């Protein structure tokens, strides 16, 4: 079954709110889009509609966290992470236990175009020393990550959710572990590290490459910070030093940069090919944009074959 992770967020946080009265949800006039409206319907006394005031929402959430609440603040990812100064000081510097829910991430948002496509959000959130950064690949992983944030995490966090539906790549009951990635397909010629909306395309690329005699490992990276550097180094050693990253984000500052940092610090030589955006987004359907920017299975396959000179 496929489901948008924004919908999973709404359903999961409403369910978690049944047993945890400290959970509060704040939204910046986009509750029907971020799906925080599900929580609002279930727990109206703990939902706060802040209007188009993301900076104020961040400050209010920080105050609530200081009083022992567990705030989740919601908006389109580009809008809420655009209030970086407030996030940096009110949340990160104060180590406030607030989760930023950045919905409608990447070009997967579709026709709304670049002005509303979060394509630099992972980069800015990764730059904050104590910010956890999560991008689930499907329903099971999203639900588990939210449960972890509510029950175990203390401090600021950022979870990136999709407008488009994502196919299930994990079995029900899958457990998210911060700082750990999970291998979805094994291979020894190269390794594809993918996150969020590109994971399905990476699996499709695995199948297409296999038909051409190329064995590709596929690794899902939901925990972008802390990052599983060990999995990258392991792939460098076991996959002939050929590493590919695929992300619905700028290739600078996101998954590609995290992989490059891990390789450089390991001392192992490797070839790295980053698939993502190195331009501004455009308007179109999610499928059209994934095809245009080479983020679907066909595009990832084509990019890898060109990189390998095949």
Rounded CA separation 85/310 (Å): 46
Positive/negative CA dihedral, 168, 171, 174, 179 = negative
CB 145 within 8 A of CB 121: no
Strands (E), 104-170: 132-134, 157-160, 165-166
As beta bridge partners, residue 76 has 103
Residue with tokens 């394509």: 119
Judged by DSSP in three states, 141 sits in helix
Rounded CA separation 302/300 (Å): 6
The token pair that represents 42 in the structure block: 């279930």
Q: Which residues contact 66 (CB under 8 A, 6 or more apart)?
A: 94, 96
Residue 123, number of CB atoms within 10 A of its CB: 17
Active site residue 282: no
The token pair that represents 120 in the structure block: 């630099």
Residue 217, number of CB atoms within 10 A of its CB: 25
Length of the chain equals 310
Catalytic residue among 54, 120, 141, 204: 54
Active site residues: 54
């Amino acid at each position: 079954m496929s489901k948008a992770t924004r919908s999973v967020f709404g359903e999961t946080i409403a369910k978690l709110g049944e047993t945890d009265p400290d959970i509060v949800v704040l939204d910046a006039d986009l509750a029907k889009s971020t799906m925080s409206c599900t929580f609002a319907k279930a727990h109206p006394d703990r939902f706060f509609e802040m209007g188009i005031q993301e900076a104020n929402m961040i400050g209010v959430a920080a105050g609530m966290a200081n009083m022992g609440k567990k705030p989740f603040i919601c908006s389109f990812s580009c809008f809420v992470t655009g209030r970086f100064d407030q996030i940096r000081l009110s949340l990160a510097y104060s180590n406030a236990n607030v989760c930023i829910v950045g919905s409608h991430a990447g070009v997967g948002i579709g026709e709304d175009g670049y002005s509303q496509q979060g394509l630099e959000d992972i980069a800015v959130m990764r730059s904050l020393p104590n910010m956890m950064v999560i991008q689930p690949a499907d329903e099971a992983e999203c639900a588990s990550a939210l449960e972890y944030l509510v029950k175990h995490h203390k401090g600021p966090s950022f979870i990136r959710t999709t407008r488009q539906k994502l196919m299930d790549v994990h079995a029900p009951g899958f457990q998210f572990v911060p700082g750990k990635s999970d291998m979805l397909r094994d291979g020894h010629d190269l390794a594809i590290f993918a996150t969020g909306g590109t994971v399905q395309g990476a699996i499709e690329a695995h199948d297409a490459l296999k038909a051409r005699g190329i064995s590709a490992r596929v690794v899902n990276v939901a925990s972008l910070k802390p990052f599983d550097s060990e999995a990258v180094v392991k792939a460098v050693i076991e996959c002939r030093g050929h590493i590919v990253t695929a992300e619905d984000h700028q290739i600078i500052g996101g998954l590609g940069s995290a992989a490059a940092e891990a390789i450089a610090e390991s001392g192992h030589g490797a070839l790295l090919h980053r698939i993502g955006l190195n331009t501004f987004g455009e308007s179109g359907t999610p499928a059209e944009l994934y095809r245009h920017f080479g983020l679907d299975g066909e595009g990832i396959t084509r990019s890898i074959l060109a990189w390998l000179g095949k």
